[in-house]
Amino acid sequence: ALEGLNDAENLGAISRAARAFGIDGLLIDPTCTDPYSRRTVRVSMGEVLFLPIVRISEPEWPGVLHTLEAAGFETWAMTPEPSAIDLWGTPVPERLAVLLGAEGPGLAEQTLIASGRRVRIPIRPEVDSLNVGHAAAVTFAAIGRPMFSAQT
């Protein structure tokens, strides 16, 4: 689930990573850029066209996270907060919704509160953060690992 992503290149990169690592679809909030803009399609190498995308309307965001949890999904808010749990040490649930926010502001406080867990990608302390497209790719690879491990 994506919140506030207004950069077509980031959305394209996230879409391509989602397809590469077996993510089933994307939920986008009302403020996200057009997932089918020419720039998004180009950066995704066309992969965005094969990915189910649902735009959530204003009154339903972030309340839709409670709907996901009621349907059996665990929700992870990806954040660089030091107090968040480590991605590498977190067991991947069978049903998972990963929440990613725009670069700079990240996820809104109300979204962080509505999420089930706050999860971080451990990086070197002298590096502030990752680009949201890179963070998505790392996260998707980590959660898709059991699927790819079973293929070998």
Convert the pLDDT of each residue in 102-141 to its tens digit. Answer: 988 899 999 999 999 999 999 999 998 899 999 999 999 9
- pLDDT of 149 above 90: no
CATH 3.40.1280.10 fits 2-151, yes or no: yes
Rounded CA-CA distance 76/97 in Å is: 6
pLDDT level of residue 144 (50, 70, 90 thresholds): confident
Domain assignments of the chain as residue spans, ordered by start: 2-151
What is the DSSP code (8-state) at residue 106? B
Q: Six-digit token pair at 119?
A: 């999860």
Predicted local distance difference test score (pLDDT) of residue 146: 62
pLDDT reported for residue 148? 62
pTM, rounded to two decimals: 0.92
Q: Quick one: pLDDT at residue 147?
A: 63
Q: What percent of the chain has pLDDT over 90?
A: 85
Is residue 39 within 8 A of residue 11, CB to CB? The reply is: no
* E strand or H helix at 76: strand 74-78
Nearest to 145 by CA among 73, 86, 66, 92: 92
